[in-house]
Copies of this chain bind each other. A is one copy, B any other.
Amino acid sequence: MSTAQPGMLYGVGVGPGDPELLTLKAVRLIRNADRVAYLANGEGRSQAREIARLALAEAKAGQQEIPVVMPMSRDRTLANKVYDEVAIQIAQCLRQGEKVVFLCEGDPLFFGSFAYLLERLQDSYSCHVVPGISSVNAAAATLAQPLTLLKESFAVVTGRHTDEQLRQTLQQHDSVVIMKAGEARPRILAALDAAGRRDDARYLEYIGRDNQQVEAEVAQLPAEKGPYFSLFVVTRHQRGDSG
């Protein structure tokens, strides 16, 4: 029988890119974690780690990092295998009573990868989620433009949705954010035209990072693929009740 404290897995949102958009809670948990895990690309670069670098620089002694190299592929079999392996590794740490933080860009449960760890671990281990600023809210702040007013409806879709789903959502909701808009940009521009909402749209990429771009005139945007971290914000120009 172990007398160790039970371990705890924290899914911690680090926000869209600006290190100052971490919450106080995220900073505290990152500093005090025994292990900090994050997704990384083949070259070992991790956007989430980059955003959290200031908190990590003040980490407690002995903290160890677990970079999780994720293959960039549409084949979910590979990704599932990686999640299976890291879940086993994290479970081992949790059984030893460790505090494990998994860093997530934006918010952990909003189109985030943390869902895949949670489903593998939450039935057997204590898990706690710390929400983060999502790119949706960061985009509205960057544009200084209200996302939704009181009687408006709001929807989020992604470039993974069909042409028909995109057009229908654009027609039915006052405000729409289209995330993961890189590969699907030509289809999204066509859907904006089909729904008659090209002039309601703004385009942003790499929000809150050094290479942030904002295009208020979507007509200026070439109908070609863009970066993964890009999105469209679509809002009504003419808003009724202004108060």
Contacts and interface: CB of A to CB of B under 8 A. Distances in A.
Contacts of A128: 144
Contact of A154 (B122, B129, B156): B156
Interface in A19-37: 19-25, 27-28
Interface stretch (A90-98, A104-112, A183-191, A211-219): A104-112
A109 B137 CA distance: 7
B156 A160 contact: no
Contacts of A149: 111, 115
B153 A169 contact: yes
A204 interface: no
Nearest to A80: B243
Interface residues of A, number: 66
A146 B120 CA distance: 13
Residue of A13, A15, A24 with highest tally of chain B CB at under 10 A: A24
A155 B156 contact: yes
Given A25-B20, A76-B243, A144-B129, A160 B150 contact: yes
A213 to B, nearest CB: 18
A144 B122 contact: yes
A116 to B, nearest CB: 6
A108 B139 CA distance: 12
Contact of A116 (B108, B122, B134, B242): B242
A145 to B, nearest CB: 7
Contacts of A172: 168, 172
Contacts of A115: 146, 149
Nearest to A243: B80
A151 interface: yes
14 contacts: A21-B24, A21-B25, A22-B24, A107-B140, A109-B140, A109-B147, A116-B242, A118-B146, A119-B242, A128-B144, A129-B140, A129-B141, A130-B141, A153-B156
